[in-house]
Amino acid sequence: MSATDLLARSLSKMRALVASGNSRPREASERDIERLRQQLQECAESRGGEVSTRQRAARLAEAYLRLNDAGRRRFLLMIALEFGPDPARVAKAHEAYQAAVGSAGQWDAEARLRGAMRSRRLRILTQFNAIPQGVKFLVDLRADLLRYLPDEPLLKPLDRELENRLTAWFDVGFLELQRITWQSPAALLEKLVQYEAVHEIRSWDDLKNRLDSDRRCYAFFHPRMPLEPLIFVQVALVDALADDVQKLLDINAPLADANRATTAIFYSISATQEGLRGVSFGNFLLKRVVEDLQRDFPKLKTFSTLSPIPGLMSWVRRNPAEAAGVFSDADRKRLMAAGLEGDVESVWTRLSGDGSWAEEKSLARALRDPLLRLAAHYLLNARRDGKPVDPVARFHLGNGARVERLNWLADTSTKGFSQSLGIMVNYLYDPDRIENNVEAFSAEGQVDSAAAVRRMARP
């Protein structure tokens, strides 16, 4: 086994120890920092041959993983501040380029200017990429970087460069779409349980149900991260538009005949790598999955989600007056008759609990219409930078879907009530409208929605 392989194995063990909490992070002494600075300098200058370069990068990666948060922050600040382009070299190259414009030497001068502007940070990052497990290391490193960024704006240049590199390395052309089944490696199945971000996987029986013959699970993988799903989608094959996630997740429900299914419901989409924030490939995942499903199940005609509305209640708390505006005088009278006293703003306090209010039948009936109007107003009218404020809505509408239907008490979990009062939404992917929807949303922020939803969203 080569020295590089030994270092890669050491790096793998160190990552596992850190993840399990069995390795105690260490503080970085001034001597440690100076040693790291010297190693980074050697990386930036590409000293030695290919083998020594990889060994040095692997040692640096292992040293980084051993550091505590303060040490990692200093390490990243060192790269950001000390290994950027040389301003004097850039100025000289720019002056030479300006003098060469219009002459036969313009293009050579341009190449030299590009070379001068190339950051030494990129050389360091590229050398990490070359080591085994180096891609995963850089993804995790950026996750740290994003945590530090709000308090350390000087890290922004490093973040921009690393995001650009990751965007190139994780181009959708390099990714592999794979179906995950109950027969997939146990390590991969454990990752699904760990990374599921929408509806918690509570047991192995729960996971097995989600991978049964009337279900599908697909994920994108990078060749350098073979057991690390980058993003995965769970699909239910049913015969109608779903309006209740509890029914979809019921492990005791009878098995459906997938070959008779007319509707594919995407009920959970989870991005797994925080370090890939800003690297977009979720829309390509859905397109590829639709193509795969259409090939295997020709009777499928409808492709829809059953999605959470994760930002609804946080938006209500920020905008209580606007939210209260959806309640009519008739709504207020019905709420008072159902025993909910006080002004409308006090409604949010009553509804911010565990959802026990939904068990009071008269109160739930009185709340149904105004809360559905509230959800419609939020999805269609609440904006940030000209686009819907809800992150799930931005994702699906940006990919060409339309807001098809709102579903009352579709998610009665504690999370469902706390985020969106138990309301869920179907985003419909109509192949005949996707392209126009994408263009209208991108250019004008225009949201396609069913007539019933538009009527609910009217002031």
71-87 confidence digits (pLDDT tens): 999 999 999 999 988 89
346, pLDDT greater than 90: no
- Among candidate residues 307, 377, 420, 449, the one labeled active-site is 307
Catalytic annotation on 94? no
How far is the C-alpha of 233 from the C-alpha of 252, rounded, in Å?
22
What's the confidence (pLDDT) of residue 354? 81
What's the confidence (pLDDT) of residue 343? 67
Q: CA-CA distances (angstroms) from residue 349 to 209, 321, 418, 428? A: 36, 14, 11, 33
100, pLDDT greater than 90: yes
Tens of pLDDT along 273-319?
999 999 988 778 998 999 999 999 999 999 999 999 999 999 999 99
- Among candidate residues 304, 396, 420, 449, the one labeled active-site is 396
Q: CA-CA distances (angstroms) from residue 294 to 215, 285, 297, 303, 403? A: 14, 14, 5, 10, 22
The strand pair at 231-238 and 263-271 is best described as: antiparallel
Contact (CB, 8 A) for 311 and 374: no
Residue with the two structure tokens 């995963």: 136
How far is the C-alpha of 176 from the C-alpha of 179, rounded, in Å?
10
Catalytic annotation on 270? no
**What H or E segment, with its residue span, contains residue 427?**
strand 424-429
Give 133's pLDDT tier (boundaries 50, 70, 90): confident
Which pTM value belongs to this model? Answer: 0.88
How far is the C-alpha of 257 from the C-alpha of 9, rounded, in Å?
46
